[in-house]
Amino acid sequence: MYYHKLGKIPPKRHIQFRQEDDSLYKEELVSSKGFSGIYSNLYHIYAPTKIKAVGKVSPFDSKIMTDYGLRQTHLNTSKIGITGDDFLSGRKVLLKNADVSIALCVPKSKAMDYYYKNAEGDEVIYIHDGRGELHSQFGKIEVKKGDYVVIPRTVIYKFKWNDEPLKLLVIESASPIETPRRYRNELGQLEEHSPFCERDIRPPSEIITEDKEGDYLLKIKKHDQLHEYHYNHSPFDLVGWDGFLWPYAFSIHDFEPITGRIHQPPPAHQTFQAGGFVICSFVPRLFDYHPLSIPAPYNHSNIDSDEVLYYAEGEFMSRKGIDRGSFTLHPGGLPHGPHPGTVEKSIGAKETHEYAVMVDTFKPLFLTEDAMEFVDKNYPMSWTE
C-alpha cells in the first residue's frame, strides 16, 4: 500500500501530542512482521489498553470433510437463504485449508451493535449484493455492489448497511493480502502494465471520532474462537493516524482486463496475492482476435493447485448449469475444461459480459460440513455428452 493520513497528528512520531485539557493523546503503533513490515500510527483520546471487562469465549470455526474424496464439485448456492443471525454468525464457511477460508454471508440482521476485530487473518469481503459504509478506526469508506473490501488483521470495524438485499463473499487469509508483486516497482507503486492503479483504490476518506464513554463491546477472533471484550470508550476514539496499513475498497468494475490474440491464462486476471493462494477477477472483455482463436478456455490439469470460481454475474460460456452465486471447485489432480459443445459455440464470439471471483490455492481445499447440502451430485459427470 501507499502512505495515507487522516485527522490530526503531531509533526513527528513518538513525541508529546496534547489534548485541549493538556492530557496526552495516546499513541498506538499497529505494525506487521514485528517492526519490519508496513505499519500505521494511531492517536487515541483514551488508552487502547484500558478495558472494562473480559467477556465470554465461544467457538468460531467450521468442520471440514476429510472423506469427501477427489471430484469436480459444483456448490449450487445460487438460491442460498439466510445463513445466520448477523455478520459473524452468518458466515457460512464452505471451503477452507490452512491458508484460506471461503464463506457466504446472508445475515438475518444487518445491524452490528458491536465492533469486530479479526486478530488472526486478513479479510477480503466481496459485496455481491448490497450497499453501505465500512466504519473503522481509520475512518469511513462507502462500499457497494462489486466492491472488494480489504481489511488487514487487527483493524477494528463495523458495517452500516442500507435497506438493499445483502450478500457477501468472505475470503479470510492467514497471511497478508497484497497487490500482485509483478505489478509493482521496487518502491511498491503499481506499474503501467498493471490492470488497476492507486487511483482505483479507495482509502478511508473521513475519520470517525467517537469520544463518549459507555459500554462498548468488541468481538475478537483468535484461535478459531470469538472473544468478547468490554470497554468504557469506543474503539473509534481516534483523532488522527498515518501510515501504510489501513483498510480499502476496490471495485471489480475498475479492473481493466488484459486481452490478447489468443486465450489468456488465469494469471492475466490476478487481482490479489497472499501466502498460499491468489484472487483473480473475471470481468467483461473483448475475446481473442487471432483469426483462428478459440475464446473458450482449453482443458487444464492443475498439478499443484485447486481452483474455485464464484459466479457473480452474467453467463459463463464454458459452463452449463451454473447460476449466479454458485461455486465450482476443480481440484488438483483432475483435468477440467469447457463443457461439451461450448468450445464450438464460442468460436466467432467477440466479447463476454461475465463477472466472477476466482481463488486459486496451492494446497488442497476441503469442503466443510456446511457445504454438503449444496453439492450438485451430477456435476462430475457433466462433461459426458
DSSP string across 361-379: ESS--EEBGGGGGGB-TTG
Alpha-helix runs per DSSP H in 286-358: 342-346
Q: Given this model, what pLDDT does residue 1 score? A: 81
- Give the type of residue at 367: L
pLDDT on residue 166: 97
pLDDT at 331 over 90: yes
Q: At CA 292, angle to CA 286 and CA 294, rounded to 5?
A: 55
pLDDT at residue 319 in the model = 81
For residues 46 and 51, give the distance between their C-alpha atoms in angstroms, rounded to a whole number. 10
CATH number of 257-381, picked from 2.60.120.10, 3.30.1490.100, 2.70.98.40, 1.10.150.170:
2.60.120.10
Four-CA torsion 72, 282, 298, 172, nearest 10 degrees: -40
- For the cut 90, the answer to whether the pLDDT of residue 5 exceeds it is yes
Among 149, 95, 80, residue whose Cα is nearest residue 118: 149
Is the per-residue pLDDT at 354 higher than 80? yes
So where are the chain's domains?
Answer: 4-64+81-251, 257-381
Using 50, 70 and 90 to split pLDDT, how confident is the model at 122?
Answer: very high
User: Residue 273 pairs with which residues in a beta bridge?
Assistant: 178, 278
At 246, the amino acid letter reads W
What are the Cα distances from residue 267, in Å, to 74, 77, 239, 255, 334? Answer: 22, 26, 41, 13, 20
- Return mean pLDDT, the chain: 96
pLDDT digits (tens, 9 = 90+) for 145-184: 999 999 999 999 999 999 999 999 999 999 999 999 999 9
Q: Do domains 4-64+81-251 and 257-381 have the same CATH topology?
A: yes
Pairing of strands 91-96, 26-31: unpaired
Quick one: 86 exposed, middle or buried, by C-beta within 10 A (0-12, 13-18, 19+)? middle
Strand ranges in 49-146 using DSSP code E only, listed in sequence order: 53-59, 73-75, 91-96, 100-105, 115-118, 122-129, 131-136, 139-144
Reported as a single tens digit per residue, the pLDDT across 90-105 is 999 999 999 999 999 9
Q: What is the pLDDT of residues 182-199, one digit of tens each?
A: 999 999 999 999 999 999
Provide, rounded to the nearest whole percent, the portion of the chain with pLDDT above 90: 96
Over residues 223-266, the pLDDT tens digits come to 999 999 999 999 999 999 999 999 999 999 999 999 999 999 99
- C-alpha dihedral sign at 341, 342, 347, 350: positive
φ, ψ at 353 (rounded to 5°): -120, 30
CATH number of 4-64+81-251: 2.60.120.10
pLDDT confidence of residue 123: 98
pLDDT of 318 above 80 = no
- Phi/psi at 240 (5° precision): 180, 165
- Quote the pLDDT of residue 321: 82
> What is the number of alpha carbons within 13 Å of residue 329 lying toward its C-beta?
26
pTM comes to 0.96
What does the buried/exposed string (b/e) look like for 181-216 if buried means 16 or more CB atoms within 10 Å of the residue's CB?
eebeeeeeebeeebbbeeebbbbbeebbeeeeeeeb
Q: What are the C-alpha distances in Å from 135 to residues 141, 143, 159, 225?
A: 7, 10, 6, 23
| Model confidence band, residue 315 (pLDDT cutoffs 50, 70, 90) | confident
